[in-house]
Structure 1
């Protein structure tokens, strides 16, 4: 008899889990509260403009390709992407502009020319980043931290011998200040803490693993936009027989004698041999698992930062802008103090502008651009968000006007806003945090929920709120780790 699996939530990890379980021979039923798949990795269309709603940076594309290959498919028949020549463009108030070329030699020359920073410092920083990745990825990204064999295998023993060189005992900012002489380059490399919603002045320098993904391996762009990651995998999963139930909010996980038996949806019970929770772990325990034993230590952990996003249809072309653009704050430390200590938005925020129409022209009308304009903000702690959003919008517009020497507000043709409150309501992310628990201490990796329940048999977990963390590659890896346990 075919075994049945129920997956709760169709975020990218939930979809990946459905594919892996279908390939293991399970009949997979996936229940999603929204009317569409993808969770944060969805899209918005407004009057001729298309926006990728959530994640905008694509790294480690092999994690997506692997799912098609496991199914015996050619990835290119479903999903195509291109490597970026410029990973990101950086702008400062004093007129400094920097292109982060994907070609390491070009990037090193750009930094030396524009900032006077020796090119060798860039090469050495990225060599160290690769070293951290090679030492830790097999341990932290590809295996469960909650099983003994992870800590006793030969790769783990090798990592123990390198522990002093992995950045565990210093902060990201401290390591970058030792590596670089120019404060703008320190700021640029500190920015990678935001890739998992952390504070570079507190998070361990181990997170300097991230630049390796963007520079040494590469940053990519799906030819049909980021949302195509969702839709291509959704298509594959349906071809493998996965049944999706949209608009079906799970009310309760059914547990009997310490074993997960199924779920309750709209008052009806659905039974299965195993359950996979792709819902944010904190909100899951507060709602569908509220009658079960609570992992109190994990639930009390501070949450990552969130985001305030303005989706703007801009009725003008800016040829100096590319796919990824960063407009830096003049006081980065104070910006993070506001986010993580004060729970407020600094009046000179760092602004990220993602413009997919630079690579996918039909995302905006001719002569126009689709601006995904984002700043990092605190998670939702019942602040006066309406007031904060209005102030932040004014500060964002003034900053962009100063640097680009224009009047952005007069060019905004359409607008939609996403803030921590709507992030929580649309994606069930606790407090609107983008990456679950924060990584602002050296033990953060060990304070993420396991990919299985130690208290409830046949209940598994995947997604950005559990091991190994948030972001597309890690969410896909969470599905892989989870499925290999079954």
Structure 2
């Protein structure tokens, strides 16, 4: 056990998880958060009797959350409970096709066959391939640092290296999906998983076809208290372990002396620590907190292509829609054009794919009686100085037109209240450079190796966690990031 002090910058999910792991090991831990609330992107909004989970809305691999309570000698169910979804998501196509993505693999494959004519055997074969990629990459790419020699000296790593040709890194997701499926609707269905880490299926490596395995093998879940209850339960655990949270405490500088992290400077106060962990976006960590140390900046990393961002409308809807579920996708008629607009033109396509999350389907008190809380999101480019007021106004109109057409009702007349989150406000609220949700994109076969390490190679005692560093963004990977970082420490 240690009595050293650890300073965590940022109370995002990875920062909280790192704090818990270090507290369990005996560290004195203090977390500094610029906002008045914890959670980072995993926060909530309340308006006019409606409650919205503001950020991540899909929970997979909850075992990584449970593990934190188990490490602390607690019963996870005393803090955090969740249910497995029988239907992962409803899909709506412009041609009228509708698909229910059942959690059960056989039922899902039969549903694909019913809706599109694609042989169920092709779906089963595809998901088996997805499982193979996971089994090869999991212990190497997800659960350990790629920047430490001992990772590559392990026997399971050596075995995985010999199987690397099987992870399909040298063709794109889209090309791989075209070889598995003849029906374009099914190809589009599986291309969508590139958006789970802010990438482009027409550029990202087919290795990312591992993502469907996480959803269809491990399952999708919904926390009984909504997604924000993840943050609340982990903060409660951390505080019980003695972790101190300081809110409205924007860190101004990481203090580095003779290439050793000595602590931080916050609101004119120097806080001394033995370990400093930044949960802030890696770009802002260097540019804002280490601006006095330009020689430390990894310029190639900081210049990498950023992931996509999001435009989210939080709508209180004065009606219920039985045909909708917790998760719903309304596909664009031209997926390639949509991604071209996001990545090449840095604009928003007039027919975007629309994601609608309605937590009141499973948590009725999130909306008044007879109403629903709609989290309506489209993928958009990172902020590069576009005219966002014009883009938002146009996107809102196009989204309403699309949803109204498919659902057969003028949705604009049902909106009781509205809040908006765009790339600019994502950057402001969560210190995500350019509003990119997942840090750097994964639009190359070497992306996994190019993400920033969880430990500084130039400053002793300085570490990093969160979605902008290894292994990537999203709740499960942020929790794994915390695990890797804490184990290095």
- Equivalence for 2:201: 200
Q: Which residue of 2 aligns with 1:108?
A: 109
| Structure 2 partner of 1:312 | 315
* 1:329-374 per-position Cα deviation (integer Å, ceiling 9, x unaligned): 0000010000011100000000000000001000000110000000
Looking at structure 2, the residues matched to 113 and 410 of structure 1 have their Cα atoms a distance apart, in angstroms, of 34
Secondary structure (helix, strand or coil) at the match of 2:60 reads coil
Structure 2, unaligned stretches of length 5 or more?
A: none
Distance of 1:449 and 1:114 partners within structure 2: 42
User: 1:188 and 1:334 mapped to 2: Cα distance?
Assistant: 16
- C-alpha separation in 1, matches of 2:53 and 2:102: 23
Q: Find the counterpart in structure 2 of residue 96 from structure 1.
A: 97
Q: Does structure 2 retain, via aligned residues, the 8 Å contact 1:93–1:402?
A: no
Task: Indicate if the aligned counterparts of 1:314 and 1:369 stay in contact, CA closer than 8 A.
Answer: yes
1:258 and 2:275 correspond:
no
Q: 1:417 offset after TM fit, Å?
A: 0.1
For residues 130-209 of structure 1, the aligned pairs below 5 Å read 130-209=131-210
Structure 1 residue 478, shift from structure 2 partner: 0.5
Partner secondary structure for residue 344 of structure 1: coil
8 Å CA contact 1:310–1:415 kept in 2: the answer is: yes
Conserved 8 A contact 2:136-2:164: no
SS of the residue 1:55 aligns to: coil
Q: 385, 388, 391: which one pairs with 1:385?
A: 388
Alpha-carbon distance between aligned partners in 1 of 2:67 and 2:476, rounded to the nearest angstrom: 12
Dislocated runs of 4+, deviation >6 Å: none
| 1:32-431 equivalent positions in 2, closer than 5 A | 32-292=33-293, 293-431=296-434
**Distance between the aligned counterparts of 2:26 and 2:359, measured in 1?**
38
Residue aligning to 1:22: 23
Checking the alignment, whether the CA contact within 8 Å between 1:307 and 1:434 is kept in structure 2 is yes
Secondary structure class of the residue paired with 1:389: helix
TM-score, normalised on structure 2? 0.99
Cα shift at 1:152: 2.3
SS at structure 2 position matched to 1:121: helix
When the two chains are superposed, the root-mean-square deviation of aligned CA atoms in Å is 0.7
> Could you list the per-position Cα deviations for residues 14-71 of structure 1 after superposition, in whole angstroms to 9, with x for gaps in the alignment?
0000000101101101100000000000000001100000000100000000000000
Distance in 2 (alpha carbons) for counterparts of 1:386 and 1:452: 39
Is this contact kept in 2: 1:279–1:428, CA < 8 A? Answer: yes
Give the total of aligned pairs.
486
Question: Alpha-carbon deviation of 1:221?
Answer: 0.5
Aligned to 1:213, the other structure's residue is in SS state: helix
CA distance in 1, matches of 2:106, 2:257: 60
Report deviation, 1:150: 1.3
**SS where residue 289 of structure 2 aligns?**
coil
> Per-residue deviation at 1:2?
2.3
Q: 1:28, 1:17 → 2: CA distance?
A: 10
